Structure 1
Amino acid sequence: MVQEDSIFIGASRKPDDTYQRPEELLLKYGNRHGLITGATGTGKTVTLQVLAEAFSNAGVPVFCADIKGDLSGIAAPGEAKDFLLKRAEAVKLDPYELRETPAIFWDLFGEQGHPIRATISEMGPLLLSRLMNLSDAQEGVLNIAFRIADEEGLLLLDLKDLQSMLAHMATRSAELSGRYGNVSKASVGAIQRSLLVLEQQGGANFFGEPALRIADIMRTARDGRGAVNVLAAEKLMTNPRLYSTFLLWLMSELFEQLPEIGDPERPRLVFFFDEAHLLFNEAPKALLERVEQVVRLIRSKGVGVYFVTQNPLDVPETVLAQLGNRIQHALRAYTPRETNAVKTAADTFRPNPDFNTFQAITNLGTGEALVSTLEEKGIPSMVQRTLIRPPSSRIGPLTPEERRRVMNASPVAGQYDQMIDRESAFEILQKRAGQGGQQGEVEKNGGWTLPDFGNGPSGGRSGQPRPSNRQTVTEAAVKSVVRSVGSSLGRELVRGILGILRK
């Protein structure tokens, strides 16, 4: 059933209520992005699991968030349960193989997966401002902090670096105000308090080194299957702003580091953004425009982005227009807003004369969905009422012992477990106050195949440390959102765009 150039999603229902026509997603359009929506309990997580398995089997690495812990079962073989066997028979999935998918577990807190870290300088002032919900004046002070750090050779790697930098600025507020505009101690103090809250929420674990190498989430196993990177997000979801900011940072890093390849025969990476509405909640207009730009342009890097959310209204219309592959599970229409959501979802599909799309959305059973993918020449297919195929891996979470076994056998085991604290702004400022510091750095490579981005084995990150802010204050704001700085010409274009936005 599964072809080398497509992945099998399920079988569509005929007018006589039998399932026969296979519904597939062409791999060459896998980077044209997608949307998975539906009410709670309608099967979105299982659909995500099916797609992640299928992309992995096609040799495409996947990154996805595990909101409830259920997705961890992708690393274990499925069980031959009656309802799964019946569904496999209904969609004519023969043979129906039960096997695990190569998985790597990650966790920003380092509890249920390998730690993920980013440096303060990589995150940038604009994303940090959003993470801490700073005012415009406070964001301006934070931009100045990055500027001064560059001018004085002070690396901003972890939270204590930024805290030391801000304290340093407070002692020089009069001098700095004359050079950069008002740098008030009140604004510095407000940022320091926000950093304290961020630290208490786990930010101290996230910011630091060794920073995540993009190549490590783009691995392929020895049998050619792509690794499915599962981000443990149960604890992370208690701080939704950190969750959405991290995933936006990760997309921005992919955008910056990966080279342009046009439309490949299959994606280089597929990125599933669960609870996608968190990205857009209370986001300023400039940030939304940057998200739209990333979604529109990152496909030429070979990356497909799939948003998963309950309501299609959660995604801005400008972003929704970029999503070519749609899977719509059941929605209910008990309130005017819900009715509007169902109508919006129905209107985004190419109509099928065999059924009423609006009514079908409200009548779908668990495991059923309306599916429309891009056909030849990139034209959306006619919407089909589809029974989603059963996954080959386990539906449900791993036990703690099983998770530990997977982590111990991981190709990145030991690479990120210990935080490194080399000489940076904190140590240098302490030295200026008469105290010493230590410097150290450790890096270890795993055993799986790493992609070659044409920038060395680090996957776009050279052996030299990044400056705290490689650009001017204005450019840093752009970099922290889209990181679209692949060439000197690209930098100039982005600077111009930002200038227009801020007028």
Structure 2
Amino acid sequence: MDKKETFLNYINEGNITKGDFIPVGAAMLDGETITGAIVKIPLKTLNRHGLIAGATGTGKTKSLQVLAENLSDKGIPVLLMDIKGDLSGLAQPSPGHPKIDERHAKIGLPFESKSFPVEVLTLSEQDGVRLRATVSEFGPVLLSRILDLSDAQSGVVAVIFKYCDDNKMPLLDLKDFKKILQYTTQEGKEEFGDDYGHISTASTGSILRKVVELEQQGADLFFGETSFEVNDLLRIDEDGRGYINIIRLTDIQDRPKLFSTFMLSLLAEIYSTFPEQGDSERPELIIFIDEAHLIFNEASKALLNQIESIVKLIRSKGVGLYFVTQNPTDVPEAVLSQLGLKIQHALRAFTANDRKAIKLAAQNYPDSEYYDTTKVLTSLGTGEALVSALDEKGRPTPLAATMMRAPMSRMDILTDAELNALLTRSKLVKKYNQTIDRESAYEMLNEKIDRAEAEDAKEKARLEKEALEKAESKERTSVSGSRRRSTAMNPVVKVLTSATFIRSVFGILTKVMKK
């Protein structure tokens, strides 16, 4: 048996699977594609997370597209973070090309052109289904981690949430949260001090600055109603195919804080909402996070710890997370160690640091007698990748340099007319794109403050009226006394009321009566 036949048996035996799988391409040996040496990814282990890495232009996005298409065909919904804006073409069939036919002939898989059910979502003012969440849904712990608050400041946030819960004040958007922050140290200072302890203006001022920083990255558009229900990510179309949900993030690259906030909120909501799935034969949802470094580069230590915890726990909910980035070192080691599937496209060694990074990346893959991994990583062509997955027993499959199959959908974006037509048909646009600003903490506190000010004004008016009446009464009393004193001092009155005058008058009257 020659080397080629031995290698074919090695690949095929290592890719035996009892359950359903995704064929991603054919293995390569010494730069030649071995037709029929199909590299398979078992559906059963897709909730073990994964990594798609490689230098710019090596085919990462097309590999992502292939996985998303095949998952959809298997009835598994997908969520894609489209930061570069080149994934919307999934909604239209591939126009085909002779090079695609040539590639698939080498692989040994037939090529089929087709479109897929797509839903376009957005975090910003771009067209699409609006994604929102309320401040209350974040909760004090998650919000504090997003804002990177100290323990003391986190305690203040917890007290604020408790006050709002006790007083049935919904915290829906950032203006609600900012208002309650101001209220605790201004109009409501005494109320808070009596029931929840005094809060310093230094603490609320520092928290407020963090909120404003988040607000400047567009978070005011994200926080509010109507809240997005994560179960809407699990929709299946009438043909039994899973929806591919594409979040348009082309305007988010300079706002990593908002991206991190959204991702952590989404993962936390999925973890708390989805039921435990156990060791099932297929995942419930697969999430691809493109340009993953945007999450990790700007994340605080507390936020990284939260992400690491969710990555470890969320697979029990049947959810797989796939990070797409240029270099595996962009992903923290604690997260990287949890990733079962690795699709590594070519890396370029332009500097000494690049060469060190390639050696480190090579150590992430199983040893193989057929490959010098470090050399292969720099010699792969566009649309070729090293693939290592987990079999159904959780063991690494044979490492294979793979010629990846071509996407079945368009490898380009939708036109404006196609996008508008897609959104017009969307049921989720009608459900989520109506802005609701119902009565919440902001309005309730303003009303409370207005009532207090009205009562203060009423009390002030009452006190002023009493003071005026008292002053007028005092003035009347003073005038009356003055008149009595004036009458008593009159000489005529003095004579007429004197005893001598009265006796004289009575004497005269007596004499007159005797006569």
TM-score range, shorter chain: 0.7 to 0.9
Cα shift at 1:282: 4.8
1:12 aligns with 2:12: no
Q: Which residue of 1 aligns with 2:285?
A: 269
Alignment-mate amino acid for residue 128 of structure 2: G
TM alignment of 1:407-446, pairs within 5 A: 407-434=423-450
TM-score (normalizing by structure 2): 0.80
Q: What CA deviation, in whole Å up to 9, does each residue of 1:192-215 have, x standing for no partner?
A: 344334334322221111100111
Select which of 344, 353, 357 maps to 1:341. 357
1:97 aligns with 2:112: yes
1:72 aligns with 2:88: yes
Cα shift at 1:54: 0.8
Provide the secondary structure at the position in 2 that maps to 1:238.
coil
Cα shift at 1:23: 0.7
Q: Which residue of 1 aligns with 2:504?
A: none
Provide the secondary structure at the position in 2 that maps to 1:149.
helix
Judge conservation of contact 1:73–1:395 (CA < 8 Å) in 2.
Answer: yes
1:23 aligns with 2:42: no
Larger Cα-atom Rg: 2
Select which of 183, 193, 210 maps to 1:168. 183
Cα shift at 1:131: 4.0
Cα shift at 1:290: 2.8
Select which of 365, 368, 374 maps to 1:358. 374
Provide the secondary structure at the position in 2 that maps to 1:378.
coil
Q: Which residue of 2 aligns with 1:309?
A: 325
**What is the rounded CA distance, in whole Å, between the counterparts of 2:43 and 2:22 in structure 1?**
7
Q: Which residue of 1 aligns with 2:165?
A: 150
Query: Cα gap change, 1:130/1:112 in structure 2, threshold over 3 Å: closer, same or farther?
Result: farther
Judge conservation of contact 1:260–1:301 (CA < 8 Å) in 2.
Answer: yes
Query: Cα gap change, 1:387/1:244 in structure 2, threshold over 3 Å: closer, same or farther?
Result: same
TM-score (normalizing by structure 1): 0.82
Judge conservation of contact 1:4–1:58 (CA < 8 Å) in 2.
Answer: no
**What is the rounded CA distance, in whole Å, between the counterparts of 1:200 and 1:138 in structure 2?**
21
**What is the rounded CA distance, in whole Å, between the counterparts of 2:420 and 2:18 in structure 1?**
34
Identical-pair percentage:
47
Judge conservation of contact 2:218–2:258 (CA < 8 Å) in 1.
Answer: no
Cα shift at 1:15: 4.0
Judge conservation of contact 2:132–2:222 (CA < 8 Å) in 1.
Answer: yes
Q: What CA deviation, in whole Å up to 9, does each residue of 1:229-281 have, x standing for no partner?
A: 00000012220111122112111111111111102111000011112222222
Judge conservation of contact 1:236–1:243 (CA < 8 Å) in 2.
Answer: yes
Which moves more between the two structures, 205-214 or 163-172? 163-172
Q: Which residue of 2 aligns with 1:458?
A: none
Query: Cα gap change, 1:340/1:181 in structure 2, threshold over 3 Å: closer, same or farther?
Result: farther
Which moves more between the two structures, 336-345 or 237-246? 336-345
Provide the secondary structure at the position in 2 that maps to 1:412.
helix
Judge conservation of contact 1:131–1:242 (CA < 8 Å) in 2.
Answer: no
Structure 2: state its 5+ residue gaps. Answer: 1-11, 452-515
**What is the rounded CA distance, in whole Å, between the counterparts of 2:424 and 2:282 in structure 1?**
30
Query: Cα gap change, 1:200/1:16 in structure 2, threshold over 3 Å: closer, same or farther?
Result: closer
Cα shift at 1:75: 0.9
May I ask how many residue pairs the two structures share in their alignment? Answer: 434
1:45 aligns with 2:61: yes
RMSD: 2.2
Cα shift at 1:224: 0.4
Judge conservation of contact 1:78–1:99 (CA < 8 Å) in 2.
Answer: yes
Judge conservation of contact 2:33–2:403 (CA < 8 Å) in 1.
Answer: no
Give 1 or 2: higher helix fraction. 2
Provide the secondary structure at the position in 1 that maps to 2:184.
helix
Cα shift at 1:288: 2.8
Structure 1: state its 5+ residue gaps. Answer: 436-503
TM alignment of 1:448-487, pairs within 5 A: none
Provide the secondary structure at the position in 2 that maps to 1:371.
strand
